[in-house]
Structure formats: C-alpha cells, structure tokens
Amino acid sequence: MKTLLPTSTAGSLPKPSWLAEPEKLWSPWKLEGDALIDGKHDALRVALQEQQVAGVDIVSDGEQTRQHFVTTFIEHLNGVDFEKRETVTIRNRYEASVPSVVGPVSRPKSVFVEDAKFLRKQTDKPIKWALPGPMTMIDTLYDGYYQDREKLAWEFAKILNQEAKELEAAGVDIIQFDEPAFNVFFDEVNEWGIATLERAIEGLKCETAVHICYGYGIKANTDWKKTLGSEWRQYEEVFPKLQQSNIDIISLECHNSRVPIELLSLIRGKKVMVGAIDVATNTIETPEEVADTLREALKYVDADKLYPCTNCGMAPLSREVATAKLNALSAGAEIIRKELSA
C-alpha cells in the first residue's frame, strides 16, 4: 500500500431504499429475480462511488449483495436447513431463531466470487472483501449434526479457505474475516479459534485481516457494552496469540469505546485497522476527533502499519450519516498524514 494511513471501512454500508428498507439489519429485499440481481449490482456501484468520492483508499462492496454478514454466506452451503430453526443465545448475549446444521457442511459453488469480480472491474483501487470467521459462523447456528463446536469450526474453516482462494484469484487484495465472537469466547479462541482462522487463510498470498469488534449499534450490543465496566479489556485475552498468528491485519474498535488503547502494544508488528468512527451513534465525528484517535494509536502502532477504519459495519445507519462519517474519516487521516510529513 503506497498511501500512508490508507483508509477503509469495516465492511457494510447502508443499502439504497429502493433495494432494501433502510436502517435495518436483515432487511428484506424490495426486488426479485433478475431485477434483484441488477439492483444489487447497481447498489454495489453506488457504494463504491460513495467510498471513492469520500476518499476511502481501500474500497469494498459495502456488502450490498448480502442481507447479513454471516447468514448470507451460510445460506449458500449444503448441510444447513433454514426451515428447521432453533432458538440459541448468540455470543452469550441475545436469543435468536437460527437455522440448523443437519448434515455434513460443504460449499457446492462460490458464494461471493462473481460479486468480487464485478467490483474488481469497477475500480483500480485495492479492494477488501469480508467473510464471516469460523467461530462467528458456528455461533449463529444450531448444530444438531456434529454437536461439537470445534469440529464444525474446522469444517467451516475448510470451506472459507476454498472461497478465499477464489476471491484472491478474482483480484481481491485483502480478505477479512469477521470474528466478533473473539470478544466473547476467550478460552475457545485461544484453544482453536485462531487455529481455525489460520486454516481459513492457508496458502493465501493476498493480505488477510481479522475484524474483532463489539458489534453493530443494535440495542442488544449497546446494552451489553453497558455491563462491561469502565475499561474494556476483552482484547487483552486474545491479542497475545493473535500477535503470534499468520494473520496480517487486525481490525479493532477504538473510537468511543472503553478499550485501553495501550492494549495495542500486545499486537506490535501487526498492521492495525484502527476504528476511528463510532457506528453506534448518529453523531458525526469531527476530523479532529478522528485525528485524536489515530494519534493515540500511533503511540503503539508504527505509522506504516496503521490503517484508519470504522469501528464496525455501517449497514444500520442512514446513508447521509454514513457518508458524513466516511468524509470525517478521510479528513482525520489527512490531518495525521500532514503531521507525519511535517
């Protein structure tokens, strides 16, 4: 990456109101059949355009072709029955009715590869593609077949590796795995979570990232955050092992979070996507606030390894708010670039 402090988003961006109901997760599509396929592509183009106009350096599809960052991937796999639903507690936090694993899981064909090729054709900028991580996938399902969390995670890791290799061949520069579950199940993360993630990136030559956050700005997550006390030290549990892993980039929530920023010293040597935009509020950060977060992070991350980013996805925000936040991110990064070059 030639630009110093290349900016990016954690992943999702709001969808246009003609494609899906805005400001909602799992929002149903408003189109069907061929019109839906066209609509998703058009929305992807718009999301790309908005990122480019806002000066985002590493662009993404804004997850315009998926309803949800985990479910949409799983819908394309064999072995999971979406009709047979069970209620489980997701990330030890909230109950949800989820699909069941009913047989061996496999990927009959590529899930996002055609979308990635489409995005690749539209831009010369580096592109980042997000996939769910193995641990977050198993946490979103009822497993009546393997009945073993670790076993299912290894199966998903194999499948993710197949998809990731095809995404790399399609020209994706950074493949990101979303693992909010890493902030909850510390023992499992250290026992096999990071190992399954390394299985998912096996043999890849492109860069790889893991995104670990405190979730979208939905009520279940903001309520959970209130119980975490004055210092959020969750990252401390998984950073030492992540620092030793083969993952290139770690994407974190930093702005407005109570994460003690000095925890970043535990991942010294890794590239860090520093969340400098809060996705759980409609208040637009000022460029100076973004710069403050980045300045703090620079005490623990070398400048050539710091990637300014959003805390998490922005799907549940209005388009107006999301765009303003992207502009603030770019402007804040520019302040620091000037300081560094002075």
Residues that bind Zn ion (CB under 5 A): 213, 312
Q: Which DSSP category does 165 fall into?
A: H
Nearest approach in angstroms of CB 179 to Zn ion is 9
| Cα(329)–Cα(146) distance, integer angstroms | 43
Nearest approach in angstroms of CB 125 to Zn ion is 22
| Cα(234)–Cα(232) distance, integer angstroms | 6
Nearest approach in angstroms of CB 314 to Zn ion is 10
Nearest approach in angstroms of CB 180 to Zn ion is 6
Nearer to Zn ion, 247 or 312 (CB): 312
> Terminal CA-to-CA distance of the chain, rounded, Å?
21
Number of C-beta neighbours around residue 321 at 10 A: 18
Rounded to the nearest 5°, which phi and psi values hold at 80? Answer: -120, 125
| Cα(67)–Cα(111) distance, integer angstroms | 13
| Cα(253)–Cα(211) distance, integer angstroms | 9
Opening angle at CA 237, ends 267 and 275, nearest 5: 55
Nearest approach in angstroms of CB 203 to Zn ion is 26
Q: Are 314 and 22 contacting, i.e. CB atoms less than 8 angstroms apart?
A: no
Nearer to Zn ion, 3 or 92 (CB): 92
Rounded to the nearest 5°, which phi and psi values hold at 252? Answer: -130, 160
Nearer to Zn ion, 206 or 312 (CB): 312
Rounded to the nearest 10 degrees, the angle between the axes of helix 149-169 and helix 113-122 is 40
Nearest approach in angstroms of CB 133 to Zn ion is 11
Nearer to Zn ion, 8 or 100 (CB): 8
Nearer to Zn ion, 6 or 217 (CB): 217
Nearer to Zn ion, 27 or 257 (CB): 257
Nearest approach in angstroms of CB 313 to Zn ion is 6
Residue located via tokens 């909010």: 180
Nearer to Zn ion, 213 or 298 (CB): 213
Q: Could you tell me the CA-to-CA distances from 68 to 131, 231, 308 in Å, in that order?
A: 11, 30, 24
Q: Cα 301 to the chain's mean position, in Å?
A: 20
Q: Are 326 and 51 contacting, i.e. CB atoms less than 8 angstroms apart?
A: yes
Nearest approach in angstroms of CB 212 to Zn ion is 8
Nearest approach in angstroms of CB 11 to Zn ion is 7
Q: Are 182 and 195 contacting, i.e. CB atoms less than 8 angstroms apart?
A: no
With H, G, I as helix, E, B as strand and everything else as coil, classify residue 208: strand
Nearer to Zn ion, 238 or 312 (CB): 312
Nearer to Zn ion, 79 or 215 (CB): 215
| Cα(311)–Cα(257) distance, integer angstroms | 9
